Amino acid sequence: MKFRAKINDVGCLNHFTRVVNTITKLTKACVLRLTVNNVYFVLSGKVANGGVSMWCELLQVNFFDEYQLEGVSADSNEICLEVAPENLSRALKTAQNAKFVKIKLTKKHCPCLTLAAELPSLSSVSRVVTHDIPVDVIPRRLWHDFKEPSMPDFDVSIYLPPLKTMKSVVDRMKNLSNYLVVEANLSGEMNLKIETDLVSVTTHFKNLGNPPWADDASQGGGQSRPVEAMAHARVDIRKLQQFLNGQQVNPSKAMCNIVDQRIVHLILLQEDVSLQYFIPAVA
Amino acid sequence: MDCVSTGGNVKVLAKAIHSLSRIGEELYLEPMEDGLTLRAVNSSRSAFACFMLSPLFFQRYQAPPDQAFHCKMPIKSVQAVFRSLSSLERSVEKCRIQMNSEKSRLTITLHCKHGLLKTHNLSFQDCESLQAVFDKESRGNVLQAQPRLWVDTVLHFPPSLEEVCVSVSGERVWLKNHVEDDADPSRAMMTELCLSSEEFDHFAISSQNSITFCLKELRGLLTFAESSGLPVSMYFDDPGSPVVLSVSDSVLEANFVLATLSEDSHQHSHSNSKAERCKAQPPPDDFMSDDMDSYLIAMETSELAVPSYEPAPHPCSTNHRARLSSTRQEEEEEEEEELLDRPPSKKFCSLFFGSVLPASTQLTSQTTRSQEVLASDSEDEGEKE
């Protein structure tokens, strides 16, 4: 098992740092899955993390100038590591003006992802900072937990309003309730609602548009669904807030799929990054 | 005592108070003929800080006629006077500090713009003089650099990190985070930074040592050094003997004396005997090698790096060696049971506080009456007879 990558370009470094920072805001620990073409940050929906799952996919060539990978074996040429994204984020933060950053899988006192950065200095000799981030290598028999989640058989898919607007609404609703109802229909309307004994608040968004999902197979009963009918899901408001607060990727597209009473599936798309986040509905 | 400082020096004074507040709860104030000293010590007596402001620092400086005047007060109350640095900079034109020993009041008057006067009356307690016994000039290793370099270096380590390990060789300096023995090494992120000697203004190494000390106090001194733009010097020797961080210019001098982590006495004697047999390995040049075992061995045998590196043994080292050995003995008594199960015991040697005669109140005073204090004793005044 070998992994080695290098970032020379400051733009790529910043971009990668922003992605890692976004992940850091979403979870304390996640799985870093490295394949020949992609880098993934994965959180599988365990009860321990509130049933939330995450799938973030990066195209390796868009971030790294050098990228060498030798997986577990020839037929499964990939590596799965459990890592605390916060460590990675902290290491990248101290390397912001680096001439280059190298990331390597190393065997130190424990398996580590070693991030070495060469920093500009006052002398002819560069400063070198290395961070050994401890990781757990995930054995192959557990890999099935970290496969790409299938697109849920959603009832409604809708584009999200500007995330900043949504964030300020959710931030205020958070003060009133612990749960929030997300509902949307196929005519571009979405509502964010809270209902408590004392107060009910609803924010209405209109003309958001519904993404044209090319293959309607996944939409299941969508054909027969009346366009005005709302699909709704009640979710833990903190999970939604975490998602809205943390994101630093400035997506070109942001969408939300709702499986009625089951799940809210959020998708952020950028040319070389995609982030999917699944929040389970609560009764 | 009556002294007046003006303009930018008020801010320097304020920064000094803020730095001291990172060390201890109380400010020890001692006006003397050759300047005003401000001191603090932490509760476990492993860190001591002293600012010496010469009479030239002040526009007017008048020491009390009675020489042996010392007092202490809660540092929080002094800090409150100088709380907002930005407003101090904007509005305060001069600051007058008066001591009234009859009324037991320290009066700090801030003369602000538009004739506004702010007067703070602080009560104080009489106390004995507080002085750590140290001699930075005799230290074998000296690193001096601009505050920017130190700040940039410290930035790489997380704010939560308590201790940092500094290792030196002929042309490089390594900084690593120190992980406690009982912490799970597989969970902690290890950071290591390597600096070239060229980045330092002054770089004199006579023994390739590794020392471990608290970052908090270094950070405290750095905020002071950064605002005043003064270079910071680090003087140190063997692990276990204190490191002195120092900042000075023509009108002021600041010394922070910090205990360093000592190695276990058993290990020490063992490594000494080993020292005679084998040649020491200098710290590996490859920054990537970070094996904990080899790293520890490098620390233990670092003493014998002296002969291989510099033919003549360091002239002043005997003094420290003697002091160290006495400390070691006490530790041995304290930790006999612990010796067996954990090889490198975590232990900061407390600093040595001696009673200092008024006549010899220089920073470098080594008095025969000096006594060591190992236990933490917050009520201790530093005078042990």
More confident residue, A256 or A122: A256
DSSP conformational letter for B281: P
With a cut of 50, say whether residue B153 has pLDDT above it. Answer: yes
Predicted local confidence at residue B182, as pLDDT: 65
CB contact under 8 A, A114 and B288: yes
Q: Give residue ranges of B with CB < 8 Å to any A CB.
A: 149, 155-156, 158, 185-196, 198-199, 287-288, 290-292
Residues A96-117: pLDDT tens digits? 889 999 999 998 878 999 999 9
Instruction: Please name each of the domains of chain A with its CATH number.
Output: 2-146 (3.70.10.10), 156-260+273-277 (3.70.10.10)
Contact B41, B378 (CB under 8 A): no
Contact B296, B303 (CB under 8 A): no
Residue B158 placed within a domain: no
CB contact under 8 A, B155 and A90: no
Q: Smallest Cβ distance to B186: which of A94, A110, A121?
A: A110
Report the chain B residue with the minimal C-alpha distance to residue A94.
B156
CB contact under 8 A, A130 and B287: yes
Contact B72, B26 (CB under 8 A): yes
Tell me how close the Cα of B159 comes to any Cα of chain A, in angstroms: 11
CB contact under 8 A, B195 and A109: no
Residues A18-56: pLDDT tens digits? 999 999 999 889 999 999 999 999 998 776 667 889 999
Residue B105 placed within a domain: yes
Q: How many domains does chain B have?
A: 1
Is the minimum CB–CB distance between A124 and chain B shorter than 8 Å?
yes
Cα–Cα distance for residue pair B1/B31, rounded to 1 Å: 7
Strand partners, A67: A5
Residue B245 placed within a domain: no
Report the chain B residue with the minimal C-alpha distance to residue A91.
B156
Q: Smallest Cβ distance to B191: which of A124, A125, A131?
A: A131
Predicted local confidence at residue B321, as pLDDT: 34
Predicted local confidence at residue B358, as pLDDT: 38
Provide the CATH number for the domain around residue B98.
3.70.10.10
Matching residue, tokens 């680096």? A98
Is the minimum CB–CB distance between A106 and chain B shorter than 8 Å?
yes
With a cut of 70, say whether residue B367 has pLDDT above it. Answer: no
Report chain A residues whose CB lies below 8 A from the CB of B143. none
Tell me how close the Cα of B190 comes to any Cα of chain A, in angstroms: 5
With a cut of 50, say whether residue A222 has pLDDT above it. Answer: no
DSSP conformational letter for B122: E
DSSP B335-351: THHHHHH-SS---BPPP
Is the minimum CB–CB distance between A128 and chain B shorter than 8 Å?
yes
Tell me how close the Cα of A56 comes to any Cα of chain B, in angstroms: 23
B154, B186, B287, best to mutate vs chain A, most A CBs in 10 Å: B186
Q: Smallest Cβ distance to B195: which of A114, A127, A132?
A: A127
CB contact under 8 A, A131 and B189: yes
A97, A122, A131, A136, best to mutate vs chain B, most B CBs in 10 Å: A122
Residue B269 placed within a domain: no
Residues B178-210: pLDDT tens digits? 877 666 666 788 999 999 999 999 999 988 889
Predicted local confidence at residue B187, as pLDDT: 76
Residue B150 placed within a domain: no
Residue B63 placed within a domain: yes
DSSP conformational letter for B171: S
More confident residue, A169 or B325: A169
Residues A163-177: pLDDT tens digits? 999 999 999 999 999
Matching residue, tokens 């009764």? A283
ipTM for the predicted complex: 0.81
Tell me how close the Cα of A279 comes to any Cα of chain B, in angstroms: 28
CB contact under 8 A, A130 and B288: yes
Contacts of A129 (CB under 8 A, 6+ apart): A94, A95, A116, A117, A119, B156, B191, B192, B193, B194
- Find the largest Cα–Cα distance for chain B: 75
Residue B313 placed within a domain: no
pTM for the predicted model, two decimal places: 0.74
Contact A265, A154 (CB under 8 A): yes
Residue B87 placed within a domain: yes
Label each residue of A156-203 as H, E or C. EEEECCCHHHHHHHHHHHHCCCCEEEEEECCCCCEEEEEECCCCEEEE
Contact A40, A32 (CB under 8 A): yes
B143, B164, B190, best to mutate vs chain A, most A CBs in 10 Å: B190
B143, B155, B193, best to mutate vs chain A, most A CBs in 10 Å: B193
* Among A128-142, A211-225, B182-196, B242-256, the least confident range: A211-225
